[in-house]
Amino acid sequence: MIRNIWIIVCLSAIISFSMSAADEVKVKTSGGIQKIAALEQGKQVYYSLSGLSELIGGKVGWERLGYSVKFSLDTNVFIFTVGSPYIRLNTTAHNMMLPAMLAHGELYVPAETFSALLDFAMPERINWDGDGRTLRIDTEWYNITDLSISAKQNGLLIEIFISSPLQYEIYQSEGNWINLNFPDGRINRGKILAAEGGNLVYKINAFQFETSAQISLRLKRQFRKYYTMYRTNPGRLQIAVEDSAYVPDSALTDVGRIGPDEEVDVVVIDPGHGGTDFGAIGRQKRTREKTVNLELANLVAKMIRKDKQFKVVMTRTGDVEVSLDERARIANEAKADMFISIHCNSSGKKTAHGFQVFYLAPAKNDSARAVAQFENAPFLVNDPSIRDREQDDLTLILNDMIQTEFLAESADLAYMADMEMRKKLGIRSRGVDHAGFFVLNRVYMPSILVETAFISNADEESLLKSTGFRDDVAEAIYNAVKRFKSKYEGK
């Protein structure tokens, strides 16, 4: 083995003598132009990997002394074999067409072909200009920058991150594909395709055309409906995808009194999942979300009950499966003043982290559509030829109309929970957002859904198992409940 290493080192040294100096190449970034060492072999330009890492970050070192070099950059790892054109990027092998070379004690890589691989791995656009001997690193070029897919109780939430609002077309195609076309899109393919590693999609395709871009996702869960909306801070297009197996009630629930009365004193705590529905499962410790949710909910309930100002109703108290319809029925029959659903977040990206709070808020065009259809409801109901077919749609429209009364209160409760969790948890806040989760859509009171941390992130999975962190989560939610009572009681 030692003999083979020496042969490689000697051959690399011989090769390096046959390479003529190209002195330097330029690296152009938003901060200006800098230069790094370069060499030429024939007409091919090579640049120093160490020189590049000094400019863009990362760490270069021997993986196996004299044989292979490791370049770590953010979450990506490149492995080069000295004298070979083949490299490994994370778990995938690639062919640079030209070999990596040792020269003057440094690894030099072929400028044109390695830059193309670097473009795949980095969030910026990487482009090699051979005529100008310039490596361009453009942070502003992409306007479609990342993709996130997360599981929800009634489907999936797909988020496509964008630098500015874009026109788009969305359609469903055979094979359970959902497709998006962006006429003026410039897509970061590496970041988009990196989301494929989770268990929610079979395949992700990302295509960059001359004047447009396309993203296609083949989902594992069969779906029947999807809803889209733009969100800001950060800018993103949200696509809420509803599972085809999900069947809402066909009749409007008779809820009697809707929302808080003069006293804010009844709180429903909803531990997500349960029974055969495990929810998400931690990668490292195999922690089940259903267990964490119930333990957190019990802590919150204990704190609120101890206050003696509130009655607490739990949608489940043991490891049992409770349908979303049943959860909503329990909350409505309790004539609750607040509904708080507790979950853990999960992502196909191991590095995703932080907590987030959601409240119900339909898109503006959905509200306008609901009003327009509601005004025409008598015609739908009284027409025997379409009465049965339209009744389910009418029911959902009526439900949406009822719920708009509590959007402001739900948003208030969400922001209160976010603020209290920021104070207590010491992890990143992903902000307050709105989403049409079914369990929130069917409860007629101010309602939020709390994603406490990412169970798919090893560090946060450990936090979710720790007594101190759970106590902090419970106390933050309890404090938000008290703040909400103080603001709204008697109104």
CATH number at residue 413: 3.40.630.40
Question: Is residue 32 a part of any domain in this protein?
Answer: yes
Reported as a pLDDT band with limits 50, 70 and 90, residue 376 is very low
pLDDT at 182: 93
Q: Which residue has the higher pLDDT, 152 or 5?
A: 152
Angle at 184 between CA 214 and CA 202, to 5 degrees: 15
* Rounded average pLDDT over 46-68: 90
Whether 389 and 317 map to the same domain: the answer is yes
pLDDT at 165: 83
Whether 228 and 343 map to the same domain: the answer is no
Whole-number mean pLDDT of the chain?
Answer: 80
Whether 392 and 368 map to the same domain: the answer is yes
- What percent of the chain has pLDDT above 70? 78
Question: Is residue 258 a part of any domain in this protein?
Answer: no
Whether 422 and 444 map to the same domain: the answer is yes
pLDDT at 441: 63
Residue 134 has pLDDT above 90, yes or no: yes
**pLDDT, tens digit, for every residue of 294-330?**
999 999 999 999 988 899 999 999 999 998 888 888 9
SS3 category, 119: helix
Tokens 């992130």 correspond to what residue?
457
Domain range enclosing 78:
2-138
pLDDT at 349: 79
Whether 280 and 392 map to the same domain: the answer is yes
Question: Is residue 256 a part of any domain in this protein?
Answer: no
Residues in contact with 455: Cβ distance below 8 Å, sequence separation at least 6, in sequence order: 280, 281, 282, 287, 289, 292, 344, 345, 346, 461, 464
- What percent of the chain has pLDDT above 90? 38
Whether 300 and 225 map to the same domain: the answer is no
C-alpha to C-alpha distance for 253 and 331, rounded to whole angstroms: 12
Whether 148 and 132 map to the same domain: the answer is no
The number of domains in the chain is 3
pTM confidence score: 0.52
- Given 84, 104, 138, which residue is the final one in a domain? 138
Question: Which of 100-104, 133-137, 394-398, 468-472 comes out lowest in average pLDDT?
Answer: 394-398
Whether 125 and 156 map to the same domain: the answer is no
* Domain containing residue 217: CATH number: 2.60.40.3500
Reported as a pLDDT band with limits 50, 70 and 90, residue 397 is very low
Whether 344 and 423 map to the same domain: the answer is yes
C-alpha to C-alpha distance for 161 and 245, rounded to whole angstroms: 28
pLDDT at 79: 95
Tokens of 195: 């989301």
CA 240 from centroid of its chain's CA atoms: 12
Whether 106 and 156 map to the same domain: the answer is no
Whether 205 and 287 map to the same domain: the answer is no
- Given 138, 173, 193, which residue is the final one in a domain? 138
Question: Is residue 250 a part of any domain in this protein?
Answer: no
Sign of CA dihedral 300, 156, 211, 135: positive
- Given 119, 138, 157, which residue is the final one in a domain? 138
Question: Is residue 342 a part of any domain in this protein?
Answer: yes
Whether 355 and 447 map to the same domain: the answer is yes
